[in-house]
Structure 1
Amino acid sequence: MKRMGLFMIAVCAAAGVLFAVYSFYSTDQAIYVAVDGSDRNEGTLERPFQTIAKASAEAEAGTTVYIREGTYKEPLVVQHSGTEHKPITFQAYEEEEVILDGENLNAADGNLALVVLEGKNDINIEGLTFKNVTTGIMDETVMGIFITGSSSHITVKNNTVQGIKTWHKEGNGHGIAVYGTDSMKDINIIDNIVEDLKLGTSESIVLNGDIDGFAVDGNTIQYSDNIGIDLIGYEGVANNPAADYVRNGTVQNNTVHHVSSFTNPAYDGEYSAAAIYVDGGKDILIKKNELYENDIGIEATSEHAGKYAENIQMTDNLISNNFYTGIAIGGYDEERGGTRNTLMMNNTLYHNDMKDLDGGQLLLQYNVHDNEIKENKFTAGPSRIFIANFFRENRDNYLGENMYYREQDKKGIWIWKDEEYNSFSAFKKASGSDETSQYVDAEK
C-alpha cells in the first residue's frame, strides 16, 4: 500500500462531525489481505491485513484489494464507491485460490449473502469463490452475491458461486442477485461459474427492477434446481414503478445445463425451470448461448397480466435435449401477460421435449403476437412435435425460412391454435408460414 501522507484525525467541533483520514494514496493504490495477516498492519504485501472487512473499510477510489489464498469465513461488504476512472477492485492475488465461506454468516434483514454491495458504484469483484450459504428458514434469502440500491458500473467477473442452498420448501436463494431498487446502469456479470444451488422459488443469476444496461456473458450455470438466468420486471422491486423492469442488455455466450425444478420441493415434480428466462424484460439480445438438459431452453413472457416481454432477440442459440421445450413464449395461462415484437432467428432446436410433455421444440402460449420466427432449424424429440400452440390468441406472427428435419420414418406434428397437423402443407396454410420454409430429411 503506497502511503503519501500521515494518519490524521480531524474533528470539526462546530458541525459535530468526526472525520478520519487514514492516508493519502496514489492513484494506483494496492491493499493486501492474508489469512495470517493482522488488521494492525499497514495492508502492504509484506504486512497484509487479516480481514476483508478491514480492507473494505480502507479501500477508496482507485484501490485494488488483493486477497491472498485461503478460506475467509466472513462476508465482503463493500463500504465505499469508486469513480468512473478509478474503480475499487476486490480480486484474488495472482490467481491464488481464495474462498469466502458462508458457514458462519448471520442474517441481516432476512438476507444471508457473502457479498453485499448496496448503493455503491464503480466496483469490480474478480477471481473469488463464494460458497456454503445455507438456511432452513423460510424468511431468510440466501445469496452468494447481492447487489442492490442504486449501484452502477459494477463488474462481477471470473468468480465461482456454489453451494447456495435453501432447504425450506417456500424458501428463496440466488447465486448472484442484482436488485435495482433505484436506477442502475452498466451491470456486468461475466465469465462466472454458478453451480450446485438449491433455490426454492428463485434463480441462479437474477437481474430485477430498475436496471438499464447490462451484460450477462460467458457464464456457466449448472446443476441447480431452478432458473439459470432471469431478467425480471413489474414485481414492485423498483421505487419508480414506471422503470420497474430490466432492459437494454445482452445475454450471450453462456452455457447453461442441468437446470431443472423437477427435484425442487417448491414445484411438486414440474419441469418448469428455464435456462434463460425473460419475465417482463425489454430490448434484450439473447445470442450464441448453449443450453442443454434443462427443463426449458429460453422462455420470454411476463407473469403479470397486461405486461409483456418485448423487443427480445433470440439469435444463433444452440438449444438441445431440454426436458419440456426448447423455446417458450407467451403466458402459461390466461391470467399472465404475453410476448410481442420478438425475433427468433437462426436458432438450432434439437431433440427438446425429451420427457414427452407436449412442449415441442417451440411452444407458443397465451397472448403471443407480432413476433418473427425465421431461419431456425428444428429437429423434433420423442413427442415428434415441432411447434406446439394450444392457445388461440396467437396473431400476426410471421414464420418464414424455417427448416424442419424429419428423422427416419417419424412423422412430424405441428399444433397451431389448438389444432393438430400431421401434414406440413396443412400446417403452413393454417399458420401462414411462407413457402420458403421446408420439411426435409435430417442430415446424416
Structure 2
Amino acid sequence: MTPKTLRFGAAALAAATAVAGVTLTLATTTDASAAPPKPRAAASTTKLFVAPTGADTNAGTAAAPLRTPQKAVDKLGAAGGTVELAAGTYAKQRIVLSGRSGVTVQAAPGAKVVLDATGLTPAADTTGVVDVRDSSDIVIQGLDVTGFRTKSRGRTPVGIFVGGSGSNITVAGNHVHHLGNDNTTQEADDVNAHGIAVYGTNGAKPITNLTIRGNEVDHLVLGASESVVVNGNVDGWTIDQNAVHDNNNIGIDAIGYEKTATGGSTDADRARNGRITGNTVTRITSIGNPAYAGGCDCADGIYVDGGRDIVISGNRVDSAEIGIEVASEHKGGTTNGIRVENNTVVRSAWVGLAVGGYSATKGDAYDVTVTGNTFTGNNQNDDGSPEILLQNMVHDSTFTANRITATGGSPALVGRVKNAGAAAKTANVVFDRNDYGSPVAATQVAFSWNGSDVTGFSAWKTRSGQDAASTYTVRSS
C-alpha cells in the first residue's frame, strides 16, 4: 500500500478536480457470495510430534518427540502428513514449506505453542515466521507467532506468509502479535510488515480456496502495510471471524494492481472472488506511524483497494480512522463487484465508509452495493466529515437500507466530492430507503453534494435527487 495524503471535511469535499478517464462497461461477475469449498487437511496419516524438550535424533513419536518444527516438516517427505507441536516456546524457530502438499502444522489440543522469532533477522524482501510458498493442501493452526522484527528498509517481516501459487490453504486459530518493522524513516513506502499476508505472485496460477479464519492479529508495527492482506493473484478466499486490533495501519485489505503477480493478465493481479465476514476490527490507527508523517491519519479497518467481486459482511469495525473503504489507488484501475452488507461501523476518527478514489488521479469504484449496515458515531474528530463519503469516480452503485447516525457537535451524514472525470464516471449513484439520524433537527443536519454544502434533510433530497423514500429521526445513537 502506498501511504495516502487524505483529509476530509468541507475543504476536502470541494477540492477534487476533473480528470479524463476511460468509460468502463459493467461486466458480468462471478457470484462472490458463494463460499469456497472446505479446505482439505493432510491426506497422509503420518503424524510426527515435536516438543521443546525433544531431540532431533528421536523418531518423532509422542513418546520420543523431535525438537525442531522444521525437522519434523522435512521428515514428513513428499507424502505429507501432520506435525503436532507440544506446549512451550520454540525460540528462533521458523517453519518453511516450499513446493509441499498435504501438510498440517498444528498445536497439540489445548497447548499454547509459541514460535518466538526474537533475534532472527528477516531476509531481504518478504519473510514469514511460518512461510508457505507454491504449496497446496496446507493447514497452519493454533500457533502463537511473535517477536519477528527489523529496523531495515526493504525487509518485510510477516507472522504467517503464503506466496506464489497453490490451493486449499487454511490459516486458522493462530495468534500473531508483537512483531513488525521499527524503522522510523519518515514517509518511506519501503518500510513494511504484516501479521498474515497472502501474495499470489504467479500470474498464470492463482492461490485458490484460501481460508483465514479465527485468528487474532494484534500489536503490530506495519509501516506502509496491512495487518491481514490478500494481494495479487488470489482467486477464491475467505477472511472470516478474525480479531484484528491495536495495529498501526490497515486491519484487513484486499489489493490489486500492485504488480504483485507477474506473467499474467492485469486481472490476475487482483484479489478477487472473496469474502470478508464476521471479523472484529478495533483500534486501528496510523497516528504516530512514520509512514504517514505527511499528515494522513487514515488507516482503514477494512479496505478493498483494486479487488473485485468481494463480499464484506457481518463485520464490526470499532475505532479505526476510516471504518470501511472501497477504492483503487492506481490510475486506470477499478474496484468493482463489491457488496458491503450488514456491517456495524462505529467511532471511526474520520468517516464510517469511504468509496472511490481519494484523489482525481486514482482509479474508480463501480458496481458497489452498500446495504443493511449500521454507521454510528463516526467522525470522532468532529471536524464536519460525514458518516459516508463518496470520493472521486464513484458510479453505478447503490446505498440503500442503511442506518446512519451522525453525532458530535457538527453532525454530517453524507458527503460527495466535486465530480471528477467524464459523466460516466459519476453516473448512476443511488441512495434510498436509508434511516438517517443525528442529535439536531432535520432542518440543521449537514450533507455535501458535488463539493457544495447542503443544510437540512429536505434540502438534501432536493439538491441531490436522492433518498426519496429515506427517513430522518432526531437521535444520538
* TM-score where L is the length of structure 2: 0.84
Aligned to 2:167: 152
Q: Does 1:407 align with 2:407?
A: no
Q: Match for 1:177 among 197, 206, 221?
A: 197
> How far off is 1:95 after superposition?
2.0
Q: Match for 1:432 among 437, 456, 465?
A: 465
Aligned to 1:245: 270
2:292 aligned counterpart, secondary structure: coil
Q: Does 1:233 align with 2:256?
A: yes
Contact residue 275 and residue 312 of structure 2 kept, 8 A: yes
* TM-score where L is the length of structure 1: 0.91
Aligned equivalents of 2:467, 2:433: Cα separation in 1 = 7
Q: Which amino acid aligns with 1:326?
A: G
Q: Match for 1:337 among 360, 363, 376?
A: 363
Aligned to 2:354: 328
2:258 aligned counterpart, secondary structure: coil
Higher mean alpha-carbon deviation, 408-417 vs 129-138, is at: 408-417
Aligned to 2:89: 71
Cα distance, 1:49–1:122 mapped onto 2, change above 3 Å: same
Aligned to 1:42: 59
> How far off is 1:442 after superposition?
2.5
Cα distance, 1:26–1:88 mapped onto 2, change above 3 Å: closer
State the Cα deviation string for residues 202-246 of structure 1 (Å, max 9, x = none).
000011001110000000000000000010001101011421100
1:111 aligned counterpart, secondary structure: strand
Aligned equivalents of 1:359, 1:327: Cα separation in 2 = 11
Aligned equivalents of 2:62, 2:365: Cα separation in 1 = 54
Q: Which amino acid aligns with 1:114?
A: V
Contact residue 143 and residue 177 of structure 1 kept, 8 A: yes
Q: Does 1:211 align with 2:228?
A: no
Aligned equivalents of 1:52, 1:72: Cα separation in 2 = 8
State the Cα deviation string for residues 71-102 of structure 1 (Å, max 9, x = none).
112101114523xxxx3110001120100011
Contact residue 346 and residue 376 of structure 1 kept, 8 A: yes
> How far off is 1:379 after superposition?
0.5
Cα distance, 1:192–1:408 mapped onto 2, change above 3 Å: same
State the Cα deviation string for residues 227-278 of structure 1 (Å, max 9, x = none).
0001000110101142110000100000001001112111025221001000
Q: Does 1:389 align with 2:420?
A: no
Contact residue 127 and residue 161 of structure 2 kept, 8 A: no
Q: Does 1:279 align with 2:305?
A: yes
Q: Does 1:422 align with 2:422?
A: no
Aligned to 2:100: 81
> How far off is 1:386 after superposition?
0.3
Alignment map for 1:270-309 (pairs within 5 Å): 270-309=296-335
2:166 aligned counterpart, secondary structure: coil
Q: Which amino acid aligns with 2:69?
A: I
Aligned to 1:58: 75
Aligned equivalents of 1:357, 1:256: Cα separation in 2 = 23
Q: Which amino acid aligns with 2:246?
A: Y
Q: Which amino acid aligns with 1:90?
A: V
Q: Which amino acid aligns with 1:53?
A: Q
Aligned equivalents of 1:99, 1:281: Cα separation in 2 = 34
Structure 2 gaps of 5+ residues are 1-41, 421-425
Aligned equivalents of 2:336, 2:462: Cα separation in 1 = 27
Higher mean alpha-carbon deviation, 217-226 vs 355-364, is at: 355-364
Q: What percent of counterpart residues are identical?
A: 36
Q: Does 1:139 align with 2:148?
A: no
Alignment map for 1:121-132 (pairs within 5 Å): 121-132=136-147
Q: Which amino acid aligns with 1:69?
A: A
Q: Match for 1:398 among 430, 455, 458?
A: 430
Q: Does 1:29 align with 2:46?
A: yes
Q: Does 1:355 align with 2:381?
A: yes
Contact residue 405 and residue 476 of structure 2 kept, 8 A: no
Aligned equivalents of 2:292, 2:124: Cα separation in 1 = 26
1:395 aligned counterpart, secondary structure: coil
Q: Match for 2:245 among 208, 222, 237?
A: 222
Aligned equivalents of 1:26, 1:166: Cα separation in 2 = 37
> How far off is 1:425 after superposition?
1.4
Aligned equivalents of 2:411, 2:47: Cα separation in 1 = 60
State the Cα deviation string for residues 314-358 of structure 1 (Å, max 9, x = none).
000000010010000011111101210100001000010111244
Contact residue 131 and residue 160 of structure 2 kept, 8 A: yes
Cα distance, 1:104–1:253 mapped onto 2, change above 3 Å: same
> How far off is 1:62 after superposition?
5.1
2:153 aligned counterpart, secondary structure: coil
Q: Which amino acid aligns with 1:274?
A: D
Q: Once superposed, what is the RMSD of the aligned Cα atoms?
A: 1.7
Q: Which amino acid aligns with 1:211?
A: V
Q: Which amino acid aligns with 1:372?
A: T
Aligned equivalents of 2:340, 2:305: Cα separation in 1 = 14
Aligned to 1:104: 119
> How far off is 1:308 after superposition?
1.1
Aligned equivalents of 2:389, 2:287: Cα separation in 1 = 19
The higher-RCO structure (CA 8 Å, 6+ apart) is 2
Q: Does 1:257 align with 2:276?
A: no
Structure 1 gaps of 5+ residues are 1-24
Contact residue 199 and residue 226 of structure 1 kept, 8 A: yes
Q: Which amino acid aligns with 1:417?
A: N
